[in-house]
Amino acid sequence: MAFELPKLPYEYKALEPHIDAKTMEIHHSKHHAGYTSKLNDAIAGTSLEGKTIEEILANISSQSAGVRNNGGGFYNHCLFWEVMSPNGGGKPSGELAEMINSAFGSFEEFKTLFSNAAATQFGSGWAWLCLKDGKLVVCSTPNQDNPLMDNVGCNGTPILGIDVWEHAYYLNYQNRRPDYIEAFFNVVDWNKVAEKLNKAK
């Protein structure tokens, strides 16, 4: 079974004005599609065929750069589309809110920490909110690396991620990455993040 590009759960224009339709279309139909087909090419005929993406990422240190970059790209974007929604924004509630308060002090302090991690990731990469040893942590990774990989300095189960590659924001925000990060918070689907937290436990 080859990996498949997931269908977006909303239209390309659904996240406007925070993320524009053209960016979403190119990001999903070109970038994510590219990672998906290159991942399939990279694992075709190898022992990785038939493994889940999580299994592949957990042993990424023994794989080629092609599997690493495209496997990460495939997984990261699947998560990214899922944690955004046209009905997103606001603040988390329930257990997720309590765990954020206990780990970071308050939602505002979490937002500052996460935004700084995203803004200061040098070059291309991602910032994450992860569950690690029963606690929430914030970290960032370069390129298409992610916290499921066995050799990144940022381990855990990601429940929220933001793509800070320029292809994620440049059409609308140009060099203003912090403005894009601020806008991202208007589309975060906290119900979905809470669902991911429950699965990660």
What does the binding site for Mn ion look like in residue numbers (CB under 5 A)? 163, 165
As given in the structure block, the two tokens for residue 98 are 């309590």
Cβ 121 to Mn ion shortest distance, Å: 13
Pick between residue 110 and residue 169 the one whose CB is nearest to Mn ion.
169
Element housing 84 (H / E): none
Cβ 110 to Mn ion shortest distance, Å: 23
Cβ 115 to Mn ion shortest distance, Å: 18
Cβ 168 to Mn ion shortest distance, Å: 5
Pick between residue 77 and residue 196 the one whose CB is nearest to Mn ion.
77
Query: Which residue has its beta carbon closest to Mn ion?
Result: 163
State the helix-helix crossing angle for 190-200 and 94-104, rounded to 10 degrees: 80
* Per-residue 3-state assignment (H helix, E strand, C coil) for 41-99: HHHCCCCCCCCCHHHHHHCHHHCCHHHHHHHHHHHHHHHHHHCECCCCCCCCCHHHHHH
Pick between residue 104 and residue 169 the one whose CB is nearest to Mn ion.
169
Pick between residue 81 and residue 104 the one whose CB is nearest to Mn ion.
81
On whether the CB atoms of residues 4 and 36 are closer than 8 A, the answer is: yes
